Amino acid sequence: TQLLEQSPQFLSIQEGENLTVYCNSSSVFSSLQWYRQEPGEGPVLLVTVVTGGEVKKLKRLTFQFGDARKDSSLHITAAQPGDTGLYLCAGKAETGGFKTIFGAGTRLFVKA
C-alpha cells in the first residue's frame, strides 16, 4: 500500500514568517502534486513535480521533489493570511495506473 505522510498536521504562524511542510513516502512516485483546499471547496492544483531533485517556484512558494522521488517539500516565504488553507500532497505510483494517492494534509493558519 502506498502512503503519503504529511507533516506537520497543523501549523499556526504569524504573517511574515517562513515555513516548510513535508510529504514523505517509502514508495517511489512517478510524479507528485501539491494542492491547496479551502473550506467547502475542492482541492486546487498548485504544482506538479516529475523529476527527482526538481525545484519549482510559484511566487513565494518553492516546491522540491526528492532525488529518489519518495518525498517532497513545500516552502512558503513571508507567509500571508491569504495562504491559510489545507495543503495536500498527492502522487501517482511509479507502477503506473491512474490512481492518485493523497496525504492527509497540513492545515496552515497565518495570523495577521
For other proteins, the binding residues (CB under 8 A) are 4, 6, 30-31, 33, 40-45, 48, 50, 88, 90, 92, 97-105
Cell of 69: 522521488
Q: Kindly tell me which of 17 and 98 has the beta carbon lying closer to other proteins.
A: 98
Smallest distance from other proteins to CB 7, Å: 13
SS3 content of the chain, % helix, strand, coil (to 5): 5, 55, 40
Q: Kindly tell me which of 17 and 41 has the beta carbon lying closer to other proteins.
A: 41
Beta-sheet strand order (sheet of 61-65): 5-7, 19-24, 71-76, 61-65, 55-58
Q: Kindly tell me which of 33 and 76 has the beta carbon lying closer to other proteins.
A: 33
Smallest distance from other proteins to CB 80, Å: 23
- Compute the distance between CA of residue 65 and CA of residue 109 in angstroms, rounded to an integer: 24
